[in-house]
DNA sequence: ACTGTAGTGAAGTATTGCTTCATCAAAGCT
DNA sequence: AGCTTTGATGAAGCAATACTTCACTACAGT
């Protein structure tokens, strides 16, 4: 601004333009505003009282513009933005809980919203565009979705405590079962694996919460097949039938292929793929 | 903004430009910000989550710019601005008090600052540029100042109550006097008038306040010559020697000729010159 | 009075933003 | 499927804007 410079030419230089351009610019501004900003006394230009008021308003306008610029650079670098992420409970709690905390701490200007739900719901939300990314059990091929593998989790079989040893070795005698609700991807995978082994998979109790399934097994309601992280954690950890997993459940990061995500989302995804699975 | 319009072309029309220009403009904006604002799905353009954040910031910037515009029009019409006015006490109280109140009421966005002082001080301040206008006793010709006449005030002679009748008719027996301080313009004018009449003008008591001079006369300390509005108002109004005025004091509106005043100042001046002198 | 200098106007030029026209791809229709 | 319609975009051209350089005027300081 010209208010704090003594000479017209000095102010022009501060603006980085020639004195002539500065003069023309001020004249054009006065014309467009219809307000005289400077009194002319000899070769001296004295700012009018109107000029100081105009300067305050002009500074606010410039600051508002600069705020947009700042936001743009922050968004460009991934320091700011909106990230709508979804995770299944195991991922949110066991595998990526501290990663999420760390991301939150390192990116305070990112608005990270996490929703925990079942794989099916998460993938549906990603498809609808309500979620930017989801960590879920790998789904069938879908050309509109991109799935990058994150973690392979072993799923083991857990009989109720006190099950006779002869039943343990014969899969046809396994069951009955407690498992996730019918819509669960894991339940479907487990069911398929048991069928190929010749075992029945009659589910006598359901819950979406691994904690609840674990307690049911402890109470003798039935067998279950769970991810190790869900089954063998205290309190009341279960004893696996064998160390060998029944199947391996693959957790992937799902996102829409057509949607260009912001750098903030990319940053979170990179963090997830770089994360070593917590054993 | 394009966020609330369904089609790209519709938004372009709302902006008053061709669809092509709109497309180019958005592309340029995305390029300059370095942030993708719209996802392209088929021929559909879906605003990114970044776009809604950017829109909020952009609206603020536009509003700030509009505020400057509003201020400019307000200033142009005289509805807003800064007015630094000066008046001698008589003008501020008797002649223009209610005019000032009215102006304040009608122009709430005008920052009106009134300073009451002697004519000499006021004119000095106008000369220095610290006052935009002053209502004062007419001064000697000064090419840098413009003086527009406002009011002619009669100045009458007031003897102390109980003065012998034979002294009243003979100016050479008038006096002694109480009057304004030596720097006062009115005092000088009165002194000159009395001299030409052959009367002495020995001042035995001074005050810048007409109220005080009036009381001194009532207490018999001496004669005075005052503007009617100052002398003949209750309480303790004085009795004039004759209805004919000794002199007429001319109040003028003084302003610097070289300084371009804002419309707010012009409005006040017009109000003053249009004001009928309160009798 | 002279001279240096600050501010301004005029002419020319580069950049910007717009329009029109052409092109391309996605929807919609039969 | 094939055709047509339509909406977004790129290219060329044009107008407006903002900047530069250069010349000029008038103030200021010796």
Q: Is the CB of A29 under 7 A from strand D?
A: no
CA–C1' distance A261–D19 (Å)? 39
Reported as a pLDDT band with limits 50, 70 and 90, residue A142 is: confident
CA B154 – CA A1 distance, rounded (Å): 51
Q: Is the pLDDT of residue A42 over 90?
A: no
SS (H, E, C) chain B: CCCCCCCHHHHHHHHCCCHHHHHHHHHHHHHHHCCCCEEEECCEEEECHHHHHHHHHHHHHHHHHHHHHHHHHHHHHCCEEEEEEEECHHHHHHHCHHHHHHHHHHCCEEEEEEEECCHHHHHHHHHHCCCCEEEEECCCCCCCEEEEEEEEEEEEEECCCCCCHHHHCCHHHCCCEEECCCCCHHHHHHHHHHHHCCCCCCEEEECCCHHHHHHHHHCCCCEEEEEHHHHCCCCCCCCCCCCCCCEEEEEEEEEECCCCCCHHHHHHHHHHHHCCCCC
Q: Is the CB of B43 under 7 A from strand D?
A: yes
Mean pLDDT of A168-175: 89
| Closest residue, CA to C1' of C19 | B18
Q: Mean pLDDT of all residues in chain B?
A: 90
B129 torsion bin: left (phi>0), alpha (psi -120 to 50), beta (else): left
Reported as a pLDDT band with limits 50, 70 and 90, residue B278 is: very low
A53: chain B residues, CB-CB within 8 Å? 71, 75, 81-82
Q: Which residues are within 8 A (CB) of A10 and not within 5 positions of it... i.e. 6 or more apart?
A: none
Q: Note the pLDDT tens digit of each residue in B153-208.
A: 999 999 999 999 889 989 999 989 999 999 999 999 999 999 999 999 999 999 99
CA–C1' distance A43–D25 (Å)? 11
**CA pseudo-torsion sign A204, A206, A210, A216:** negative
> Which of A36, A53, A131 best probes binding to B when mutated, by most B CB atoms within 10 angstroms?
A53
Nearest to A76 among B34, B57, B76 (CB): B34
Reported as a pLDDT band with limits 50, 70 and 90, residue A1 is: low
Mean pLDDT of B120-132: 89
For B146-184, give one letter per residue: b (16+ CB within 10 A) or e.
bbeebbebbbbbbbbeebeeeeeeebeebbebbbbeeeb
A43: chain B residues, CB-CB within 8 Å? none
Say what the pLDDT of residue A43 is.
85
> Which of A57, A66, A264 best probes binding to B when mutated, by most B CB atoms within 10 angstroms?
A57
Question: Across the interface, do A72 and B34 touch by the CB < 8 Å criterion?
Answer: yes
**Token code pair at residue A156:** 């083991």
Q: Is the pLDDT of residue B58 over 70?
A: yes
For B18-44, give one letter per residue: b (16+ CB within 10 A) or e.
eeeebeeebeeebeebebbbbbeeeee
Q: Which residue has the tokens 């936001």?
A: A71
Say what the pLDDT of residue B46 is.
87
The domain limits of chain A are 8-77, 80-151+251-274, 153-249
CA B32 – CA A170 distance, rounded (Å): 68
Domains A8-77 and A153-249 are alike in CATH topology: no
Mean pLDDT of A191-210: 93
CA A76 – CA A208 distance, rounded (Å): 39
Reported as a pLDDT band with limits 50, 70 and 90, residue A2 is: low
Mean pLDDT of A99-127: 93
CA B99 – CA B116 distance, rounded (Å): 15
Longest dimension (CA), chain A: 111
CA A116 – CA A118 distance, rounded (Å): 7
**In degrees, to the nearest 5, what angle opens at C-alpha B262 toward C-alphas B256 and B267?**
95
Q: Is the pLDDT of residue A30 over 80?
A: yes
Of the listed ranges A153-162, A206-215, B183-192, B251-260, the least confidently predicted one is B251-260
CA–C1' distance A21–C10 (Å)? 13
| Closest residue, CA to C1' of C27 | B43
CA A99 – CA A181 distance, rounded (Å): 28
Expressed in angstroms, the distance from the first to the final Cα of chain B is 61
CA A54 – CA B69 distance, rounded (Å): 10
Q: Mean pLDDT of all residues in chain A?
A: 90
Closest to A51 in 3D by CA, of A5, A2, A89 = A2
Question: Across the interface, do A61 and B68 touch by the CB < 8 Å criterion?
Answer: yes
CA B143 – CA B266 distance, rounded (Å): 20
Reported as a pLDDT band with limits 50, 70 and 90, residue B30 is: very high
CATH superfamily of A153-249: Periplasmic binding protein-like II (3.40.190.10)
Q: Is the pLDDT of residue B257 over 90?
A: no
Q: Is the pLDDT of residue A179 over 60?
A: yes
Say what the pLDDT of residue A278 is.
47
**What is the architecture of the domain spanning A80-151+251-274?**
3-Layer(aba) Sandwich (3.40)
The CATH fold assigned to B8-77 is Arc Repressor Mutant, subunit A (1.10.10)
**Token code pair at residue B208:** 């810048």
Which nucleotide is nearest, taking the CA of residue A41 and each C1'?
D27
Say what the pLDDT of residue B48 is.
86
Q: Is the pLDDT of residue B53 over 50?
A: yes
Nearest to A71 among B53, B81, B259 (CB): B53
Question: Across the interface, do B61 and A61 touch by the CB < 8 Å criterion?
Answer: yes
Q: Which helix or strand (DSSP H or E) is residue A61 part of? A: helix A49-77
Mean pLDDT of A173-197: 94
Say what the pLDDT of residue B3 is.
66
CA–C1' distance B24–D11 (Å)? 12
> Edge to edge, what strands does the sheet with A109-116 contain?
A109-116, A80-87, A133-137, A247-256, A145-158, A224-227
Say what the pLDDT of residue A279 is.
42
Of the listed ranges A21-25, A269-273, B115-119, B259-263, the least confidently predicted one is B259-263
B58: chain A residues, CB-CB within 8 Å? 68
Mean pLDDT of A247-267: 89
Q: Which residues are within 8 A (CB) of A196 and not within 5 positions of it... i.e. 6 or more apart?
A: none
Question: Across the interface, do A73 and B129 touch by the CB < 8 Å criterion?
Answer: no
Q: Which residue has the tokens 């009608």?
A: B106
B196 burial via Cβ count (<10 Å: 0-12, 13-18, 19+) = exposed
């Amino acid at each position: 601004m010209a208010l704090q410079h003594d000479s017209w030419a000095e102010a022009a230089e501060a603006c980085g333009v020639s004195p002539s351009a500065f003069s023309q610019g001020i004249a054009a501004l006065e014309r467009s505003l219809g307000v005289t900003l400077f009194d002319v006394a000899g070769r001296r230009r004295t700012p009018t009282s109107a000029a100081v008021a105009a300067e305050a308003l002009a500074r606010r306008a410039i600051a508002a513009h600069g705020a947009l610029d700042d936001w743009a650079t922050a968004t460009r670098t991934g320091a700011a933005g909106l990230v709508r992420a979804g995770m299944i409970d195991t991922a949110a709690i066991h595998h990526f809980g501290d990663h999420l905390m760390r991301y939150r701490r390192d990116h305070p200007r990112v608005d990270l919203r996490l929703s925990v739900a079942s794989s099916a719901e998460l993938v549906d939300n990603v498809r609808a565009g309500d979620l930017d990314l989801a960590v879920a059990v790998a789904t069938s091929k879908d050309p509109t979705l991109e799935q990058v593998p994150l973690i392979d989790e072993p799923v083991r079989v857990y009989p109720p405590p006190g099950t006779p040893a002869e039943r343990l070795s014969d899969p046809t005698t396994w069951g009955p079962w407690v498992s996730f609700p019918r819509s669960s991807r894991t339940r479907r995978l487990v069911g398929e694996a048991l069928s190929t082994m010749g075992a029945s998979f009659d589910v006598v109790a359901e819950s979406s919460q691994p904690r609840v399934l674990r307690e049911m097994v402890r109470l003798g309601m039935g067998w279950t097949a769970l991810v190790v992280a869900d089954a063998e954690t205290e309190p009341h950890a279960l004893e696996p039938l064998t160390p060998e997993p029944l199947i391996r459940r693959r957790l992937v990061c799902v996102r829409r292929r057509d949607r260009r995500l912001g750098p903030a989302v990319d940053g979170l995804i990179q963090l997830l793929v770089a994360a070593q699975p917590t054993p």
